Amino acid sequence: MLTPSVANRVGQQTMANESAETSLRQSKLTHIFGYLILAIGAGTVLSAAYVMRAGYSIVPYWDELEEMTSYVDATHQSVLSWIWAQHNEHRILFYKSLFIVDMQFLHGRNWPMYVAIFCSQAALAVVIGYMLYKLGEVKGPLWRACFGLTLFCMFCPSQWENFCWAFQLSFVLVNLWVAAAVLCLVSYKQRLASGQPGGMGLVLVSLLAATAATFTNGNGITIWPVLIVLALLTKLPWRQVAIYVLGLACVAPVYLIGYHSPSKHASPLDSIRQPRQILEYMANYFAGGVMPDSAILKTRPFGVAPAIGLLGLIAAIALMLSLILRRSKKGFLELALAGIILYAMATALITALGRLNFGPLQAFTSRYQSFALLFWLALALWIISIAARRPTAGYLIAVYILIIVIACYAATQYGGIVEHVSRHKAARELGGVAMITGVHDDGFLRSQILSTPIGWPEVEELQTRQLSLFSTPRAKQFGQDFARFYRAASPDTCEGRVDEASYVSTNPEGIVIHGWLVQGLKGDPMEEVLFVAEGKIVGFGVLEPERFDVLNALRPRHASRRAWIGYAQLSEGKTLELYGIGSGFGHNDSCHIDTVSVGSY
The model carries a pTM of 0.90
Q: What DSSP state is assigned to residue 331?
A: P
Instruction: Say how many CA atoms lie within 13 Å of 183 toward its Cβ.
Output: 21
Closest CA to 121 of 377, 411, 385: 377
CA–chain centroid gap for 189, Å, is 33
Residue % of the chain over a pLDDT of 70: 87
pLDDT for 416 equals 86
Residue 74 to residue 78: CA distance in whole angstroms: 5
Q: What is the pLDDT of residues 321-334, one digit of tens each?
A: 999 988 778 899 99
State the chain's mean pLDDT as an integer: 86
Residue 167 to residue 114: CA distance in whole angstroms: 9
pLDDT for 571 equals 79
Q: Are 248 and 222 in contact (CB under 8 A)?
A: no
Using DSSP's 3-state secondary structure scheme, residue 346 falls into helix
Question: Could you tell me the residue ranges of all domains in the chain?
Answer: 27-418, 479-601
Residues in the chain with pLDDT values less than 50 = 2, 6-7, 10-12, 14-20, 294-302, 547-561, 584-586
Largest CA distance in the chain: 113
pLDDT for 306 equals 82
DSSP string for residues in 49-99: HHHHHHH--SS--THHHHHHHHHHHHTTS-HHHHHHS-BTTB--HHHHHHH
| Single-letter residue type at 431 | G
Residue 511 to residue 502: CA distance in whole angstroms: 5
3-state DSSP percent of the chain in helix, strand and coil, to 5? 65, 10, 25
Residue 381 to residue 307: CA distance in whole angstroms: 21
497: exposed, middle or buried (Cβ count in 10 Å: 0-12, 13-18, 19+): exposed
> CB within 8 A of 79, min separation 6: which ones?
71, 100
DSSP string for residues in 225-283: HHHHHHHHHTT--HHHHHHHHHHHHHHHHHHTTT----TTSPPHHHHTT-HHHHHHHHH
Residue 492 to residue 504: CA distance in whole angstroms: 32
336: exposed, middle or buried (Cβ count in 10 Å: 0-12, 13-18, 19+): buried
Closest CA to 592 of 496, 502, 505: 496
Residue 67 to residue 19: CA distance in whole angstroms: 64
pLDDT for 15 equals 45
**Which CATH architecture is the domain 479-601 placed in?**
Sandwich (2.60)
CB count in 10 Å sphere of residue 78: 11
pLDDT for 20 equals 47
pLDDT for 115 equals 97
